[in-house]
Each structure stands twice: as C-alpha cells, then as structure tokens.
C-alpha cells in the first residue's frame, strides 16, 4: 500500500473539535461549576421545551446515548430536578418532565450558561458566528426548529417567564455533538489508537526529544492525562523516555520504530475520518470551518475567566 502522508494534525477538523471542546469544558467549569454538567443542562432544555417527552427521544435531542441517558435521568430524578412516569399508552416507555426544582435550576443556570457561550465565541468575528453555527449544524445533521429560526423560546414556569435557547443554536452543544460524531467515526474507521493518543504521537514526531510537559501541552492534554497516557504508550513500546543530561528532573521523549509504524498505519484512517466528517461541506466551506473552529480552539488560557462568584447554585 502506498504511503499516505500524515495531514497537518493540528489543523484536522477532528483535532480542532477535540481542543475546542476542552476550551468549552474549562469555561463551563470556571463559570458554572461542578453541580450542573453540560449534558445535564442540555437535557433540562429539551424537557423544558417538550414536557412529558419520552426518555429515548429526550436523549437523542440532547445528544446522549441510550446507556448514558438512563443513568443521567436516574441521577436527575434523585436530585429532584426531573420526575419520571410510565407512559400510560406504552408501559415500556418512560416519560420525563421538570419538577419545580428543575425549573429553578434551569432558570438560574441559563444566564450563566449564556455567558459561557459568549466567552466561547469571543475569538470568532461577529459576522462569522452564524456561519460557524451553520457549518457545525451541517456536519452534525441538526436542523433548527422552524418555529424559532435559532432564536430563544420563552418559557413560562409558575410566575416566571424566561428565555431558553434552542440547543441547535448553542455553540458549546454543537461542538460537543460534532466531537461525538468524530469519535464515532474514529472508532469505526480506526479503533486501536485514540485521537488523543494520536495527538501525542504526532506531537512527539514533530518535536522529538522534547520534555514530557511540553509534549503534553502540544497535544492539548492536561498534566495528569498526559503522564498517564505516556506511561501506557511506553508499556506498548510506542515511545521511549530518557533523562535529560542537562536537567535530571526532565524526561525527554521520542518515538520508537513501533511508534513511527503506528503513526504511519493510522494515517489513512485519519484521512478517511476527516473526509467522512466534512463530506457535506464544500472545499471552501471546509477551509472556513477550520479557520473559525481554530479560532475557538486556540483561545489562550489567559482569555478564559476565573469562576464567577454568582455561578454557584
């Protein structure tokens, strides 16, 4: 088989989605905190728009798989945010709706999550923001509800009237959904090495004999994840580690022949995944998508805010 050159890994759509999702998670953690996750909020939004929706449909709209949705709804029922009941017309189906506590969480969280999305979109020129949303919707095959055209929907709960955006108009949700699509394609077309492991191999190939911390940063891995991943890849003899003769505290990494071979073998799969993920975009749209998504992914940590005092709820 002819050798397929490794694409510029940093600018593949899959890698940009992975890093943009990490930026979203950091912003969410700083502003929202640990008590409400992005998938949980998505589920609350879905149920607020469709009270009494069945569990499976709610999971699909929130971009959650079957196993995840069942466990998440069970936890949210225990939190007192959701109520669940058997469908009187089909005992195999569970119907879910928000409790008063769930409405309160949604009402209090929405302005903070709006701020998360605003910060996430900061690097994107205002004139290009809707373009980025449209491109993300195209590759994830998600459509806006005709009744809203991407605008917010007013919800009346008790004496409160407040606006909740449709999920297909939320940047962070679309990035998460697109990354999930990439991971599904990756699993089907490649398997074996994960995209994060490939990122580390690629970084090591580009900068051999770099220290472990630097390579983790180049691959956009946090310190703990990078250290654990390097240890696993050493056990598989994909990378070798030597002590820096000028600084005994530093470990320098390079690819082994097996690591070089693994990177060569995964390259055709990377090209296939990239093609499948972006097949609904023209070549010009693909270039623009990479440019706009790259702006989000390259957001410097210094531009990401500390936790808002008002975010605790």
CATH class of the domain whose range is 1-189+256-301 = mainly alpha
**What global pTM score does this model have?**
0.86
> pLDDT in tens for each of the 313 residues of the chain?
344 456 688 889 999 999 999 999 999 999 999 999 999 999 999 999 899 999 999 999 999 988 899 999 999 999 999 999 998 888 788 999 999 999 999 989 999 999 999 999 999 999 999 999 999 999 999 877 644 444 444 555 455 566 788 899 999 999 999 999 999 999 999 988 899 999 999 989 888 888 888 888 888 888 888 888 888 989 999 999 888 777 777 778 899 999 999 999 999 999 999 999 999 999 999 999 999 999 999 886 545 444 333 333 3
What lies within 8 Å, CB to CB, of 209 at 6+ separation is 242, 252, 253, 254
Nearest-angstrom CA–CA distance, 285 and 282: 5
Write down the domain spans for the chain. Answer: 1-189+256-301
pLDDT in tens, 163-215: 788 899 999 999 999 999 999 999 999 988 899 999 999 989 888 888 888 88
Identify whether the C-beta of residue 172 lies closer than 8 Å to the C-beta of residue 20.
no
**So what's the pLDDT on residue 225?**
83
Q: Which strands, in side-by-side order, build the sheet including 90-98?
A: 53-54, 90-98, 82-87
pLDDT in tens, 47-85: 998 999 999 999 999 999 888 999 999 999 999 999 999
Q: Give burial (CB, 10 Å; 0-12/13-18/19+) of 154.
A: exposed
């Amino acid at each position: 088989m002819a050798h397929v050159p490794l694409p510029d890994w940093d600018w593949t759509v899959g890698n940009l989605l992975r890093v943009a999702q990490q930026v979203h998670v950091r912003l969410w953690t700083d502003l929202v905190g640990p008590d409400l996750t992005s998938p949980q909020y998505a589920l609350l939004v879905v149920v607020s728009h469709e009270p009494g929706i069945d569990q499976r449909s709610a999971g699909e709209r929130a971009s959650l798989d079957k196993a995840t949705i069942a466990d998440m709804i069970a936890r949210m029922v225990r939190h007192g945010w959701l109520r669940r009941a058997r469908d009187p017309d089909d005992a195999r189906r569970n119907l879910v709706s928000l409790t008063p506590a769930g409405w309160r969480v949604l009402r209090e969280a929405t302005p903070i999550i709006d701020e998360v999305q605003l910060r996430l979109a900061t690097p994107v020129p205002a004139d290009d923001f809707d373009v980025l949303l449209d491109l993300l919707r195209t590759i994830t095959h998600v459509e806006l509800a005709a009744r809203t055209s991407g605008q917010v929907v007013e919800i009346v709960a008790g004496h409160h009237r407040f606006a909740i955006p449709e999920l297909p108009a939320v940047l962070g949700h679309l990035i998460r959904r697109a990354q999930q699509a990439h991971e599904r394609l990756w699993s089907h077309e490649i398997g074996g090495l994960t995209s994060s492991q490939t990122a580390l191999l690629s970084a090591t190939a580009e900068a051999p004999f770099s220290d472990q911390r630097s390579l983790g940063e180049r691959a956009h891995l946090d310190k703990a994840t990078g250290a654990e991943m390097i240890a696993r890849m050493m056990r598989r003899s994909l990378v070798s580690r030597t002590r820096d003769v000028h600084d005994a505290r530093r470990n320098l990494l390079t690819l082994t022949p097996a690591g070089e071979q693994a990177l060569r073998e995964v390259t055709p799969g990377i090209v296939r995944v990239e093609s499948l993920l972006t097949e609904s975009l023209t070549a010009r749209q693909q270039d623009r998508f990479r440019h706009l998504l790259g702006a989000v992914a390259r957001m410097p940590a210094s531009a990401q805010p500390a936790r808002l005092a008002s975010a605790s709820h």
